[in-house]
Amino acid sequence: MSDPDLFENSPDQRDLFPDATPQPGRIVDFPAEARRRLLNMLAEAKAAERLPWSEKKTQTLEILFPQMAGWLPEDEAKQLCFEFAQEIERLRNAA
């Protein structure tokens, strides 16, 4: 008697997560995606008159932002982190 293959992909299971199906030839450009997200967060902060996020989310973004910036060239990452920190300080002082 043989053991069942626990890792077998049955047709029913493949349909559960269609987005998780590997796409041959698809390459994710992590630096470009990180840059896009960082610039969006920075633009949202710059456009705001007060913190656009809850304090908890702001604290999370203060941790996440430099980590995402780690995908970028060092000079660019430092500049974006500096600008984001300035905006957070400005927004906290405006409250």
Residue 22's pLDDT is what?
56
Residue 16 CA to residue 25 CA, distance in Å, equals 22
**pLDDT for res 29:** 83
Number of domains in the chain: 1
As a whole number, mean pLDDT of residues 41-67 equals 96
Domain, as residue range, for 55 = 30-94
73 part of a folded domain: yes
Percentage of the chain modeled with pLDDT above 90: 67
72 lies in a domain? yes
Please tell me whether the overall predicted TM-score, pTM, comes out greater than 0.85 for this model: no
Q: Is the pLDDT of residue 72 over 80?
A: yes
Residue 38 within any structural domain of the chain: yes
Whether 20 shows a pLDDT value over 60: the answer reads: no
58 domain-assigned: yes
Chain CA centroid to CA 18, Å: 21
Please report the pLDDT score of residue 47 as a whole number: 97
Q: Establish if 14 belongs to a structural domain.
A: no
User: Is 83 a member of any domain?
Assistant: yes
Q: Report the C-alpha gap between 22 and 50 in whole angstroms.
A: 41
- Tokens linked to 81: 């982190």
Instruction: Look at residue 56 and tell me if it is in a domain.
Output: yes
Q: How many CA atoms lie within 13 A of 68 on its CB side?
A: 21
